[in-house]
């Protein structure tokens, strides 16, 4: 039996990057996936790949900054599958590389609404569907929140807040066998490119003991599967760093 056989997973920001990799990894592990993003055509491509593994994939156009879209996402998941076992809060809309004094109201609002409020709302929307049979909530945090990365002010603040509510939910919902954890990954993305690529390979090796930036499919997605499976049933309220040991440097 596959690790996620017949589970139903909701994954936000699934049109590319970690969200896409997670959706495909979950499909390989036997889960049906409800994937959302703002670009439906990209989602449909991801859905086709997922369904090659014999599962059902439901692409839902959703802007996580719009409350009604979030409610519709959950409603479609329940209508299509009758349950929600796994929630992955991955989506965020933000502008990176901006000093605190240069943050605009638009940058603040977009980042807080997509990266914090959407996580808050989706956790609350999924709770009634998880409280009888348990569930897995996996929220994506960031190393920027751990090291106070310059020029990532609101992004770092939001990601720190995400882990804070993850811990609170873990305590409040543990009796219902709902585990809530945060993942801090390092993999090639727009963020890691800004943080590492300009410094050169030798600096990456100095910062990351394993000597390379993670591959989203090989290094990060397998951990996402583990955290969604029964293998992680006794892990909750934790900040899981999947960063090649990068946090040791700091």
- Distance separating alpha carbons of residues 208 and 248, to the nearest angstrom: 8
- The residue from 155, 188, 212, 234 that is catalytic is 155
- Distance separating alpha carbons of residues 203 and 201, to the nearest angstrom: 5
Structure tokens at 246: 């990068």
Angle at alpha carbon of residue 20, lines to 223 and 228, rounded to 5°: 35
Instruction: State the CB neighbour count (10 A cutoff) for residue 159.
Output: 28
Give 105's contacts (C-beta < 8 A, 6+ positions apart): none
The verdict on whether 234 is a catalytic residue reads no
Helix (H) or strand (E) holding 135: strand 135-140
Active site residue ranges: 155
């Amino acid at each position: 039996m596959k690790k996620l056989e017949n589970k139903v997973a909701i994954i936000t920001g699934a049109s590319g990057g970690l969200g896409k990799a997670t959706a495909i990894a979950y499909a390989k592990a036997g889960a049906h996936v409800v994937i959302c993003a703002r670009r439906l055509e990209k989602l449909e491509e991801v859905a086709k790949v997922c369904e090659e593994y014999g599962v059902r994939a439901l692409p839902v156009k959703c802007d996580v900054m719009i409350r009604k879209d979030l409610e519709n996402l959950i409603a479609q998941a329940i209508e299509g599958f009758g349950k929600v076992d796994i929630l992955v809060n991955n989506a965020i809309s933000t502008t990176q590389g901006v000093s605190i004094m240069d943050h605009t109201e638009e940058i603040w609002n977009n980042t807080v609404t997509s990266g914090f409020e959407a996580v808050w709302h989706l956790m609350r929307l999924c709770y009634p569907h998880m409280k009888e049979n348990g569930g897995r909530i996996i929220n994506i945090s960031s190393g920027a929140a751990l090291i106070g990365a310059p020029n990532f002010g609101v992004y770092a603040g939001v990601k720190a807040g995400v882990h804070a509510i993850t811990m609170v939910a873990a305590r409040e919902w543990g009796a219902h066998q709902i585990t809530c954890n945060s993942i801090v990954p390092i993999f090639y993305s727009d963020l890691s490119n800004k943080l590492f690529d300009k410094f050169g390979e030798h600096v990456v090796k100095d910062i990351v003991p394993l000597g390379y930036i993670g591959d989203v499919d090989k290094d990060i997605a397998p951990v996402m599967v583990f955290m969604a499976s029964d293998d992680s049933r006794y892990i909750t309220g934790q900040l899981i760093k999947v960063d090649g040991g990068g946090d040791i440097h700091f």
